[in-house]
A and B are shown apart, each in its own frame.
Chain A
Amino acid sequence: MSEHGEYRRRDRSWHPAAYTPAYRSTTFRAPRRALLSLPQSIGELSGPVFGHGALDPLDSDLIRNYATTGDAIGERIIVHGTVMDENGRPVPGALIEIWQANAGGKYRHVNDKYMAALDPNFGGCGRVVSDAEGRYSFRTIRPGPYPFPNDGCAWRPAHIHLSIFGHAFVQRLVTQFYFEGDPLIARCAIVNTVKGQAAIASLVAKLDMQNMQAFDCLAYRFDIVLRGRNATHFEGS
């Protein structure tokens, strides 16, 4: 397959639309004009390379990376999975940035006014790079649900935010994943900006008992799919 071929076009019907009025924050922030579709040139086919060597092992341990007097409070979990492209190939060297609320649903952010308590041992911020097989893993606590203003008071299901850099500008992705079995998922206006049960199901991490750590952590599996190159482009053919 060509190393320089274009990536498949993004399936915009699989992603949420810009304007989804049930999630009220989109009302004035969604562009109304259609996106202008462009071919992919060098700037879109390339992407930033980060100093992955500079990552600290603690960066992927949210139970300890902001701890001062002891471990963060909450259900101890490992989240792991594989970063793949749409062709099923692993994506090594993908930078994944992580942020989340604490076990009580409170973010360590100057603008979070929710009444729940901060955990002095939890920052809610981490990062990890996928290995040669595209695999990644981080340790954290399961975040709590929290309320947000959306046509009255709405509740977010427990979720973790991920920001992912693959190898190309066009692979950039920011998303959130949820936890299997959470009854708030189906009720969430932000989840439901995604249309279709299959697409929503792909945002739900699965409980993974095989990878739990005995007497320590439960495990959840969440695989990530980034855009892949168009399979119809073959070098020299």
Chain B
Amino acid sequence: MALKETPSQTAGPFVHIGTLPAVAGLKTKTPEQPNILARDGTLGERIRIEGTIHDGAGVLVKDAMVEIWQANANGQYGSNDFTGWGRAATDFETGLFFFETVKPGQTPFRDGRKQAPHISLSIFARGINIHLQTRLYFSDEAQANATDPVLQMVGQPELVATLISNKEPGQGRPLYRFDIHLQGDRETVFFDF
């Protein structure tokens, strides 16, 4: 007989204690930077991702925790030189979260078709009863995005737009901006897998 999954409960406003203890103000034995995924020797193009999370009243969500999961530059998950996993807090003052990583390669969809480069995101916070799952795509991958099976299922261009990070002009490492809207006219598309 099948068991029932343990029900989710909100991560609450103090999620950082267990997940990002230094952010909560706890001393840690070793400095941890789980939002820095790209290390010396990591293959691929170095990128920075920045964003904010907005609630349905237009207020910045400053107590959230965001996790990412992605393939490496060759489209492989869990390779030895690149964990592909990261975690960041939205800043208590500015609401900004950021990651330093590499641009992922293309990976196969369930049916074998190619998916455009993307990063999976999960959002945990007070007032979020079960974590929200979405994807970040890249504005400079228009051709791959146009044939991506998931973006095709999303369909409507204004909904697809909520999933595409914008490459911002600047010097040095490419910067992609990804703002998440939990609710409202610009509500981000969230997934159930």
Contact = CB atoms under 8 A, between A and B. Distances in A.
A226 B193 contact: no
B5 A31 contact: no
Contact of A14 (B5, B24, B189): B5
B40 interface: no
A8 B131 CA distance: 18
Interface stretch (A69-77, A108-116, A212-220): A108-116
Given A35-B192, A174-B8, A99 B187 contact: no
Interface string A28-63: 111111011111111110111100000010000000
Given A108-B17, A161-B11, A173-B8, A18 B128 contact: yes
B3 A84 contact: yes
B38 interface: no
Given A36-B153, A43-B77, A202-B6, A107 B128 contact: no
B4 A14 contact: yes
Nearest to B83: A48
B129 interface: yes
B133 to A, nearest CB: 8
13 contacts: A15-B8, A28-B127, A29-B182, A31-B187, A43-B70, A48-B69, A48-B85, A99-B15, A109-B24, A110-B92, A190-B9, A225-B4, A226-B5
Contacts of B63: 111
A203 interface: yes
Nearest to A29: B127
